[in-house]
Amino acid sequence: MNNNILVFIEQRGGKILPASFQLLALANELATTAGGQAEACVLGDSVSGLTDAIAAQGAKKIYTAEAPDLGSYAAGPFTTALAAVLDAADPRTLLIPTTAMGRDLASRIAARKRAALAIDCMEVALDGNDLVVTTTMYAGKFAAKFKLCGSVLQIATVRSNAYSATDPQAGAAADIEAVSLGFTDGDNRATCTEIASTSSGVKDVTEADVVVSGGRALKSEDNFKIMHELAEVLDGAVGASRAACDAGYQPHTRQVGLTGKVVTPRLYIACGIDGAIQHLAGMRGSKVIVAVNTKADAPIFKVANYGCVIDLFTLVPLMTQELRRLQG
Ligand SMILES: Cc1cc2nc3c(=O)[nH]c(=O)nc-3n(C[C@H](O)[C@H](O)[C@H](O)COP(=O)(O)OP(=O)(O)OC[C@H]3O[C@@H](n4cnc5c(N)ncnc54)[C@H](O)[C@@H]3O)c2cc1C
> Above pLDDT 70, what percent of the chain?
99
* Tens of pLDDT, residues 273-306: 999 999 999 999 899 999 999 999 999 999 999 9
Q: Which atom of ligand 1 is nearest to the CA of 260?
A: 8
pLDDT value at 199 more than 70: no
Q: How far is the CA of 86 from the centre of ligand 1 (A)?
A: 44
What is the predicted pLDDT for the residue at 108? 97
For ligand 1, atom 35: residue with the closest CA: 272
259 lines ligand 1 (CB under 6 A): yes
* Tens of pLDDT, residues 112-147: 999 999 999 999 999 998 999 999 888 777 889 999
Q: What is the mean pLDDT of residues 25-41?
A: 97
Whole-angstrom Cα Rg for the chain: 21
| Separation between Cα atoms, residue 151 and residue 66, nearest integer Å | 30
Q: Where are the alpha helices (H) located in 64-122, listed in sequence order?
A: 75-89, 100-113
CATH architecture of structural domain 2-188 = 3-Layer(aba) Sandwich (3.40)
* Topology alike, domains 2-188 and 210-326: yes
CA-nearest of 204, 150, 185, 184 to 19 is: 204
pLDDT value at 200 more than 70: no
For ligand 1, atom 41: residue with the closest CA: 311
Backbone angles phi, psi at 217, to 5 degrees: -60, -15
240 lines ligand 1 (CB under 6 A): no
Residue-range domain boundaries for the chain: 2-188, 210-326
Q: Where are the alpha helices (H) located in 160-276, listed in sequence order?
A: 225-233, 242-246
Instruction: Give every CB contact of residue 156 below 8 A, 6+ residues apart in sequence.
Output: 93, 94, 95, 96, 117, 118, 119, 121, 124, 131, 133, 148
Ligand 1 mutation target, pool 212, 278, 286, most atoms within 8 A of CB: 278
pTM listed for this prediction: 0.82
Q: Which atom of ligand 1 is nearest to the CA of 313?
A: 41
Could you say which of 3.40.640.10, 3.40.50.1220, 1.20.210.10, 3.40.50.970 is the CATH number of the domain covering 210-326?
A: 3.40.50.1220
* Tens of pLDDT, residues 179-197: 999 887 777 777 778 888 7
255 lines ligand 1 (CB under 6 A): yes
Cα angle 100, 58, 146 (rounded to 5 degrees) comes to 50
For ligand 1, atom 8: residue with the closest CA: 257
